[in-house]
Chains A and B, each alone.
Chain A
């Protein structure tokens, strides 16, 4: 915890300056609410925020898990077969040039105002960093290690399971951390474009009613959620790869 102390102090300092500036320049609350106004809004609207937050968490977690599944499947296939990699990899990169924000409304037309389009948005945003990091991790394997196992009579599958896959874990978890924070954002984007519940729709409604303090409160909740997701991945990483953290 101690290593975060300087950033925390600096953050508090920024909040103080913000609070002071809003009061000194008499900035209207719908333009920029003061941190104290955001804070009280967080407390007053906690039940509503929690209710909407749960929906967002649900979408983000589901999308994230499905993205991990898709990422694992794709990258293992690419790791085992150079032919599959040559076919899929370029297409995967091209897929990332499609603006998902533009596609999301289409998902609503396809799937309706239910959870599905949001989960799909999360999957589309998360699967790329996950797959890319695992594919990279699998391809940066130590060739001498592979040679040693091969000379000892290991099958290609044994080489994959005992050398390539465990060796790719640090890179995989780096991708997971990125995706974990993206997943909440993905759910929010999905909700913006149409939802009955969730922090995204809460933000849109607050903005349209010029309740900027509520918008900021929702932003704070989103940040905290993203940090929590990040922490869960980090802790899982430490449990899965104790060797990596004992260096």
Chain B
């Protein structure tokens, strides 16, 4: 694992009982994973399996009971500011225009607005959002809002992008459109990405590698290397190689 960039090492997390008489909630039970720099890794598992807890721990919002997070060899357990993330909810600030939402990351780092705009404008063009730079989020469609949210995530220039079911709330058509788009954009920028999903096809289509989680308390049940050549096209979803991966993943996921 010499080349691993992000290492999640044997993470345990148990929540105390919320009410008296209830049992404590064992959420993560020794989860380990490793991500190389510039790798797109997905985490897939049944809903409520603790993916989001892992997410909070990697982003430093929560501390694990045991285990640590290493980034580029340094222990960053419980440290904030290393990652930027994106959720199903776009979390755009409604009082900011698209452009001003995009520069949130640089702004927090104290970069002057003008300079931040200079960084953002080429990306807006790249993301086909130039025409909406001065619109408010409420005026955009769901797919467009997620594109803005992704741009903001990228522009935050963090070492790692965490995407937690970013397309979960979109309709099937927009979702596949967004997957194609993300796949294309990612191939260009090669950011290090951890993508959380419970959609098997989405995981295979986008990732280099996929970790399959068990039910709660979560542990890694399988690690599957996708290995399909890029760029990938939508048509490949029915190819033999793709279907084989899908079968392998489903059997790991459903325990058959």
Contact, CB under 8 Å: A152 / B81: yes
Q: Which residue of A151, A154, A163, A241 contacts B83 across the interface (Cβ within 8 Å)?
A: A151
Chain B residues whose C-beta falls within 8 Å of the C-beta of A144 in the assembled complex: 87, 89, 91
Q: Chain A contact residues (Cβ within 8 angstroms of B): what range?
A: 20 to 34
Contact, CB under 8 Å: B87 / A152: no
**DSSP class of A's interface residues: helix, strand, loop or mixed?**
helix
Task: Confirm or deny: B73 has a beta carbon within 8 angstroms of a beta carbon on chain A.
Answer: no
Chain A residues whose C-beta falls within 8 Å of the C-beta of B35 in the assembled complex: none
What is the size, in residues, of chain B's interface with A at 8 Å between Cβ atoms?
A: 26
Chain B residues whose C-beta falls within 8 Å of the C-beta of A154 in the assembled complex: 108
Contact, CB under 8 Å: A150 / B80: yes
Interface residues of A in 150-173 (CB under 8 A from B): 150-154, 158, 162-163, 166-167, 169
Chain B residues whose C-beta falls within 8 Å of the C-beta of A142 in the assembled complex: 91
Give min CB distance, A157 to chain B, whole Å. Answer: 11
Most buried by A among B85, B108, B139: B108
Chain A residues whose C-beta falls within 8 Å of the C-beta of B158 in the assembled complex: 152
16 examples of A-B residue contacts, CB within 8 angstroms: A144-B91, A150-B61, A150-B80, A151-B80, A151-B81, A152-B158, A153-B108, A153-B109, A154-B108, A162-B107, A163-B93, A166-B95, A241-B95, A243-B136, A246-B139, A247-B138
With A151-B80, A244-B95 already in contact, 19 other A-B pairs whose C-beta atoms are closer than 8 Å: A142-B91, A144-B89, A144-B91, A148-B91, A149-B108, A150-B80, A151-B61, A152-B81, A152-B108, A153-B80, A153-B108, A154-B108, A162-B104, A162-B108, A166-B95, A169-B95, A241-B95, A243-B136, A246-B139
- Measured CB to CB, the residues of B under 8 A from A are 59-61, 80-85, 87, 89, 91, 93-96, 104-105, 107-109, 136, 138-139, 156, 158
Q: What 4 pairs across the A-B complex have the smallest Cβ distances? A: A153-B81, A151-B59, A243-B136, A243-B95
- Measured CB to CB, the residues of A under 8 A from B are 142, 144-145, 147-154, 158, 162-163, 166-167, 169, 241-244, 246-247
